[in-house]
Amino acid sequence: MKTIKYNTLGVVGNPLRQSLSPTLHNYWLNQNKLNYNYCKFELRSINEIDVVIKKLNLKGLNVTIPYKKEIIKHLHGLDKTAESLQAVNTIKNSNGKLKGYNTDVHGFLSGLNNLGELNKERPVIVLGAGGACEAVIYSLVKRGLNHIFLMNRTIEKAKHLKKKYKQVKVKEWLEKDIIQSAGLIVNCTSLGMVGYPSLPLNLGKVGKDTKIYDIVYNPLETKLIKEAKKYKLKYVTGLPMFLGQAQKSFEIWFGITPKINEYITSKIKGKIKNQ
Ligand code: ATR
């Protein structure tokens, strides 16, 4: 196969039908007058990655479910965050040397900023112990939130994750007293996502200043966000995290921080609604 010189970027994962990354990155590429195209590479196996990266000679890639961990053995190096999380969502290709990064932490923290000052005296409740959860715990600790209760339907998975973070204590799934004591509740489960049941959580008894962060962005208004609105709690959806992680990937590839403006935000919102 002929080698094409650096003019392509993309996302690898499976499935990718719903991925909004091409819309976002192609807009930013255009806006910054960069002559690149951002494509989807829906791989049946991560072993096809060698063909995608090396033969197409891509400048960079995003990596999504289910390959964030499996990709690591194909890379030459990792940045500190990706190394610690053992998960990569961004790759930069520098003359054939592939370095892995994790920008989910940056994305999560940009969403967290929308919630303003956080009460460090009260615990953060993290719901879920799947792929997305460790980046969330890592971010919370980085932000100085050291009092974290982790709850997961399958408690063994939470216990396993806890081993790495002394700031985390494992609690029973949706234990009422614990939920009521929360300063911040973060949903990192798939509950509320299109095709999944809602998170069965009533926010009627939490404190008035409890804040809610749902990292789900499809749909934007999950049942959890509706509950937060009902009780006038400050909340953030998964959209700023999605935009923030992409913004950081773009910065890694081009050294340019692309703008998250009203136009692209409403375009992405529209696409989410129509999916
Ligand atoms: P991701 O990479 O998106 O985090 P994942 O690794 O499959 O996906 O994790 C999904 C999370 O949602 C897990 O915490 C999962 O709980 P289990 O570890 O018990 O599977 C949680 N989850 C999914 N469906 C759930 C349900 N019906 N009730 C409670 N938790 C659920």
Q: By alpha-carbon position, which residue is closest to atom 26 of ligand 1?
A: 191
Q: 175: domain CATH number?
A: 3.40.50.720
Regarding the beta carbon of 206 and ligand 1, being less than 6 Å apart is answered no
Whether residues 16 and 99 fall in one domain: yes
pLDDT value of position 250 = 98
Whether residues 136 and 82 fall in one domain: no
Whether residues 61 and 92 fall in one domain: yes
pLDDT value of position 50 = 82
Whether residues 141 and 203 fall in one domain: yes
Q: Is 68 a catalytic residue?
A: yes
Regarding the beta carbon of 218 and ligand 1, being less than 6 Å apart is answered no
Domain count, the chain: 2
Return d(Cα 114, Cα 110) in angstroms, integer: 7
**Considering the domain boundaries, does residue 3 fall inside one?**
no
CA 56 to chain centre: 26
- What residue numbers bound the domain in which 199 lies? 117-233
Catalytic residue chosen out of the listed positions 68, 92, 171, 248 = 68
Q: 63: domain CATH number?
A: 3.40.50.10860
**Considering the domain boundaries, does residue 111 fall inside one?**
no
Q: Vertex 150, ends 144 and 152: CA angle to 5°?
A: 150
Ligand 1 atom with minimal separation from the 189 CA: 12
Whether residues 135 and 201 fall in one domain: yes
Q: Exposure string (b/e) for 181-195, b if CB count within 10 Å is 16 or more?
A: ebbbbbbbbbbbbee
Ligand 1 atom with minimal separation from the 188 CA: 4
pLDDT value of position 274 = 87
pTM for this structure?
Answer: 0.94
The CA distances from residue 106 to 36, 52, 123, 203, 256, in Å, are 24, 26, 21, 28, 15
Give the residue among 213, 169, 168, 209 at the shortest CA–CA distance from 188: 213
Low-confidence spans in the chain with pLDDT less than 50: none
